[in-house]
Amino acid sequence: MHIQSGVAIKLQFSQLIPETFKGAKADKASQTAAVQQRVRPGQTLFAEGDDAGAVFELAQGIVKLYKLLPDGRRQITGFATTGSLIGFTGGDIYQYSAEAVTDVVASRYSSVQFNRLLDEAPGFARRVLAIRQNDFVSAQDQMVLLGRKTAAERIATFLLHLSALTGNGMRTSGFHIPMSRSDIADYLGLTIETVSRTLTKLKRDRIISLPEALEVRIVNRDRLEEIAEGDALEAA
Amino acid sequence: MHIQSGVAIKLQFSQLIPETFKGAKADKASQTAAVQQRVRPGQTLFAEGDDAGAVFELAQGIVKLYKLLPDGRRQITGFATTGSLIGFTGGDIYQYSAEAVTDVVASRYSSVQFNRLLDEAPGFARRVLAIRQNDFVSAQDQMVLLGRKTAAERIATFLLHLSALTGNGMRTSGFHIPMSRSDIADYLGLTIETVSRTLTKLKRDRIISLPEALEVRIVNRDRLEEIAEGDALEAA
DNA sequence: CGTGAGATTGAGGACACTCAACATAGGTGG
DNA sequence: CCACCTATGTTGAGTGTCCTCAATCTCACG
């Protein structure tokens, strides 16, 4: 059901908080240890503009991160998956909103505590930096997609990423799309109609099949990769 | 001439490398200290795919960071200014290309040395993390721009950013645009024609004036800010 | 079996792109 | 010193991709 059953794209680490700190403080006040938290689909972890009181490390599930324009236009800047760190900001206000897409399990750290760890725990900042560096690289790829790719290229790129995420990298088996057309559209800078139409076209061309709306099977992976990289999808 | 004469958007710090390390090693082999390097406009600091041998800290000038698609389409993912850290990658290959826009002065660190500092110098990773966090926030804003803003909104946003960069935040005085229409277009996900036309329209509407191609004066800042945030620019 | 949210499909339109001509400015060489 | 040349930028005409508006379909759920 969840897409992170297999390989995680983000950095893998069994625990973000150093053992030494985790144990030491937990004895004393149990508030230093992270609190495990469950979040239902559609629920908000935090909203842009709120006081940034907590940082979350995703243990399970998918969270969409997005920003809104005053008139309601939305851009999803990324989907956080297992291992992702969300809610960490340089300042004291969240820069974006975070809402669960699937059932989510997350470790919640207070921002104060998190920042203390950054300053004091050896190697901690280094590990968080590695995560952010990865996020930054993903963000750059997404900028290329949003600024320069066609609708078909965006969809193809997205499907391949999803496929990699589910761990079906080499096989052609199908997988579940965990988010709605609306989420896909706002992530790829398109409308839901264009997303739907483009998927239909890929299906007509036998590049993918769609057993149902949220189920995809990549039939011709090579072709899909060509399209993702800029080989035009014929009008037909 | 250069736009970073005033306030830098990025984190301000007089030196990235800790004094202790700087001095200590420099005595021994002078290769630990950063090498100051000058780069002429149009020259490349490094290219996507190259072995990531060095990390640069910009001391002066502007550098464009970009990625290319196989067919030549280009997306400029950001402009690095004074204080920016470029060329730092998690892996061993540059993820994007970097080319000087203006005359540039940069401190060059070997990647090996830089990574050693990250692991060993106290507080160093913490400071680099702060920089990357800032870059990440900027990247998210740019995703909103690329995915959801109209041409006029993109140009307005860009001009305001440039204005802030030159330190003319409150005054309405003019400033120099350091990059070409082509760079602007590839940064904003537009074509040079659309950039040109949109600037002309802002000029006709008395929101800006253009004494010459690379010189702008913001005449009606309030209106420009409205447009940047989504208030439509009328057709005629 | 009715309802409603999400997805698909269709028709028409708009915004930004493409192709092309022209303008401007800086630099070079006769 | 001026004519020429090339870069870069502007403007125009026409087009196309994706958007908007709207109807229909699907499916889960009560």
**Per-residue pLDDT tens digits for A41-89:** 999 999 999 999 999 999 999 999 999 999 999 999 999 999 999 999 9
Tell me how close the Cα of A231 comes to any Cα of chain B, in angstroms: 9
pLDDT digits (tens, 9 = 90+) for A12-31: 334 566 544 444 444 443 34
Is pLDDT of A197 > 90? yes
Q: Is B154 in the A-facing interface, judged by CB distances under 8 Å?
A: no
Residue B190: closest CA among chain A residues belongs to which residue?
Answer: A147
Inter-chain CB proximity A148 and B119 less than 8 Å: no
Is pLDDT of A4 > 80? no
Q: Is B134 in the A-facing interface, judged by CB distances under 8 Å?
A: yes
For residues B183 and B124, the answer to whether their CB atoms sit within 8 Å is no
Phi, psi for A211 (deg, rounded to 5): -50, -40
Distance CA A10, CA A138 (A): 10
Q: Which residue type, as a one-letter code, is found at position B193?
A: E
Inter-chain CB proximity A90 and B148 less than 8 Å: no
Distance CA A159, CA A187 (A): 12
Distance CA B151, CA B153 (A): 5
Bridge partners, residue B110, by sequence: B54
Give the strand pairing for B174-176 and B215-218. antiparallel
Inter-chain CB proximity B143 and A141 less than 8 Å: no
pLDDT digits (tens, 9 = 90+) for A114-160: 999 999 999 999 999 999 999 999 999 999 999 999 999 999 999 99
For residues A86 and A95, the answer to whether their CB atoms sit within 8 Å is no
For residues A195 and A209, the answer to whether their CB atoms sit within 8 Å is no
Distance CA B5, CA A78 (A): 34
pTM of the entire predicted model = 0.90
pLDDT digits (tens, 9 = 90+) for B112-145: 999 999 999 999 999 999 999 999 999 999 999 9
Nearest to A96 among B77, B130, B140 (CB): B140
With beta carbons under 8 A apart, name residues in chain B contacting A151: none
Residue A88: closest CA among chain B residues belongs to which residue?
Answer: B133
